[in-house]
Chain A
Amino acid sequence: MSNDPILSVRDLTLDIPTAGGTLHAVRGIDFDLHRGETLCIVGESGSGKSLTSLALMGLLAPKIQRSAARIDFDGTDLLKASRRQLRHLRGARMSMIFQEPMTSLNPAYTIGDQLAETLLLHRKVSRAQARARAVELLEKVGITAAESRLSQFPHQLSGGLRQRVMIAMALMCEPELIIADEPTTALDVTIQAQILRLLVDLQREMNMAMILITHDLGVVARVADKVAVMYAGELVETGSAKAIFRQPAHPYTRGLINCIPVPGRTERGARLGTIPGIVPSLVGEVNGCPFRGRCDQAVDACANAIPLHQLDDDTHELRCVHPDGHRHEEVTA
């Protein structure tokens, strides 16, 4: 593993013009991702996780304005890259798996055509070679009778199978980065674990960097190397999975972790934690900590610019007025 990150993002900001003013959907996101690493971005619905992933792929709707100090993919500046350059990266060196397996495959073409297309777009191979690769990948993602699946259409497959096909499609060109946006949300609970296991195994086998977007902390605990906690468009806390789960610093992160029951520790029948309140509107000027309205540690200073603290482990960063996330009398005085 080289020391240079494969993906480096600084100050990523996404604005959506709406009738009521500009919606500041994502504000000032920073992170680095190295080869072979898994970064989990967690946060509730609407926190900007999916938008962030689409922004990295360059797949945002045209009306969404993207700005950043840097989005660097293995030496290529994605902010300055031409459409052609981006096209050569997408599908070949960076791939994406979406949340909606039922609708993400084109209903008019066979599985085989759609799988082969990815390879044919990027490599000088014959159709026969592309189909052979498609069979190989289908077998890899655990689809039986792979050869005969090639001539099937998406509507003939179940959701779990379609998501396996989507994964196979994303891996056709052995990408270095894979972005999975809640890949298991739309699936049956029994299938969810299988798909996730598969994704993680393949990621390790192929030594890909992975960004896994999820709101399931149980998943995060199992697969993440790094965790980025997102709230209302900001990363409120980032760090190694170990640090985040052992010493969650931000009040929001602590709240999230309190929401999951732990076998043996959570008492039977005890109420699980909840975070009261609602996410603030991001239309118009957004100042201070977006979580302050729901935070039990909130003080007046939360309405001002929020400092970034490095915690003991230098990859563990916290965006909170309290240097360790807890209110101390000397801070509030």
Chain B
Amino acid sequence: MLRFILKRLGLAILVAFTVSFISFSLLFLAGDPAIAIAGENANAEDIAAIRELYGFDRPMLVQYAEWLWNALRFDFGQSYYFRLPVADLIAERLSVTMTLGVCGILFALLTAVPLGVIAAIRPNSLIDRIALFLSVAGQAMPSFWFGLILIVVFAIQLGWLPASGASSWRHFIMPTVVLGYYAMPAIMRLTRAGMLEVLSADYIRTARAKGASEGRVMFKHALRNAIIPVVSLAAVQMGFMLGGSIVVESIFALHGAGFLAWESIGRNDLPTVQALILVFALFYIIFTFLADVLNAWLDPRMRSS
């Protein structure tokens, strides 16, 4: 098990370095950064001065090494727009995004897994149909549209929940539902398919032959095996929620990291964009790593491979 974890950790670090290089190169792919900073009315002298000030005249690898070294110490430079350290900016925004992401994935898991299990235990029953309907609707409905519907109903018509902002837990209810509902269909269908497959396995019959109760058969013997692919999926969804909740953050005016990324792209605020890409990528890497470890714990066969 320890060997497995170390191997995966090594792999994760390798991927992290690759990603850091790619996100750094974006600075140069987007054109000459000095011109972008100098603005439209700058003359050649201003641009040259800026180029020297920011060190853009040095070889790219040297700049990368410096950037990476600073990044490792959580120093991502200054935001061009806010004139503030990028690290502080992200740290402030990330708390909103993390809260939203964690709530979103929990909402998705807590609705999708039980629904998937029940749907698998009673295939073609009413509850299976309802679960199927919910998952088709969730997949077909764009987040922004579902978010707007919720705002119209619960904020404007009924006045139960605030439509925008992030100042209390009540502000997070609708965004959580919208974000979680987006992830729910895939998790539910994977749980259902996994449970259906596992329930017909010989070892489930063995468990019943031992005299195990139905609840024990379902949760201890079946779900433990059926949940393995769901863990990997949920990790990817979680990474997506932390990086890609831009739409939801915009609709509900939650000023999180996703919203910051969207703003910064528009403002050509490259240090912020670079740092955000790196942070989002790291989230994916961390969650994939955690999912691998969790899966190895759930499925002993994975440890030896």
Interface residues of A in 91-135 (CB under 8 A from B): 91-92, 95-96, 98, 100, 103-108, 110, 117-118, 121-122
Q: Does A31 contact B (CB under 8 A)?
A: no
Q: Which residues does A use to contact B, with CB under 8 Å?
A: 57, 59, 83, 87-92, 95-96, 98, 100, 103-108, 110, 117-118, 121-122, 153, 155, 166, 169
The CB with the most chain A CB atoms within 10 A, among B211, B213, B214, B221, is that of B211
Question: A48 CA to B117 CA in the complex, in Å?
Answer: 32
User: B95 within 8 Å of A by Cβ?
Assistant: no
| A122 to B213 CA separation, bound complex (whole angstroms) | 11
With A107-B225, A153-B301 known as contacts, the answer to whether A98 contacts B206 (CB < 8 A) is yes
The answer to whether B210 touches A117 (Cβ under 8 A) is: yes
Chain A binder among B68-76, B197-205, B263-271:
B197-205
Contact: A100 with B202, CB < 8 Å? yes
Closest residue of chain A to B205, judged by CB? A59
Chain B, residues 290-305, CB within 8 Å of chain A (1/0): the string is: 0000000011110010
* Contact assessment for B202 and A104 in the assembled complex, using a CB-CB cutoff below 8 Å: yes
Bound-complex Cα distance A147 to B210 (A): 22
Are A104 and B225 in contact, CB atoms less than 8 angstroms apart? no
Q: A91 near B225 (CB under 8 angstroms)?
A: no
A179 to B, closest residue via Cβ: B209
The count of A-to-B residue pairs whose CB atoms sit within 8 angstroms is 67
B212 within 8 A of A: yes
Chain B residues positioned under 8 Å from A106 (CB to CB):
203, 206-207, 221, 225
Q: Which residues of B contact A96 (CB under 8 A)?
A: 209
CA of A8 to CA of B201 in the docked complex: distance in angstroms?
A: 30
Cα–Cα, bound, A95→B224 (Å): 24
Flag if B210 contacts A105 (CB, 8 Å).
Answer: no
What residue in chain B is nearest A58 (Cβ atoms)?
B208
Query: Residue-by-residue, is B217-237 near A (CB-CB < 8 Å gives 1, otherwise 0)?
Result: 000010011000000000000
Across the interface, do A90 and B209 meet the contact criterion of CB distance under 8 Å?
yes
Q: CA–CA, A90 to B203, complex, Å? A: 15
Instruction: Assess A169 versus B210: contact at CB under 8 Å? Given A108-B299, A108-B300.
Output: yes
- Assess whether B211 is in contact with A122, with CB atoms less than 8 Å apart: yes
Q: Is the interface of B mostly helix, strand, loop or mixed?
A: helix
The residues of B with any CB-CB pair to A shorter than 8 Å are 201-203, 205-214, 221, 224-225, 298-301, 304
Residue contact A87 to B213, C-beta cutoff 8 Å? yes
Task: Collect the chain B residues with CB atoms within 8 Å of residue A91's CB.
Answer: 209-212
In whole angstroms, what is the CA distance A106 to B219 when docked?
13
Cα separation A90 to B212 with both chains bound (whole Å): 8
Instruction: Check if A121 sits within 8 Å of B205, measured CB to CB.
Output: no
For A118, the closest partner residue in chain B by CB is B210
The smallest C-beta distance from A277 to any residue of chain B, in angstroms, reads 32
Least CB distance, B100 to chain A, in whole angstroms: 33
Nearest-neighbor residue (CB-CB) of A61 within chain B: B200
Minimum CB–CB distance for A128 against chain B, Å:
20
- Among the listed A83, A88, A95, A107, which residue makes an inter-chain contact with B209, where contact means beta carbons less than 8 Å apart? A95
Residue contact B210 to A108, C-beta cutoff 8 Å: no
Shortest C-beta distance, A228 to chain B (Å), equals 22
Q: B298 — nearest CB in chain A belongs to which residue?
A: A108
Q: Which A residue sits closest to B228, measured CB to CB?
A: A108
Q: A103, A108, A110: which has the most chain B beta carbons within 10 Å?
A: A108
Which of A88, A89, A95, A105 makes the CB contact (< 8 A) with B203?
A: A105
Q: Do residues A104 and B206 form an inter-chain contact, with CB atoms below 8 A?
A: yes
Ranked nearest first, the 10 interchain pairs of A and B with the lowest CB-CB distance are: A91-B211, A91-B210, A90-B211, A103-B202, A153-B300, A106-B203, A104-B202, A96-B209, A104-B206, A87-B211
Taking A90-B208, A104-B206 as known contacts, 12 extra A-B pairs with beta carbons closer than 8 A to each other, sorted by chain A number, are A83-B214, A87-B212, A89-B211, A90-B211, A96-B209, A98-B205, A103-B203, A104-B203, A106-B221, A107-B301, A121-B210, A155-B300
Residues of B within 8 A of A122 (CB): 211
- Of B203, B208, B301, the contact of A59 (CB 8 Å cutoff): B208
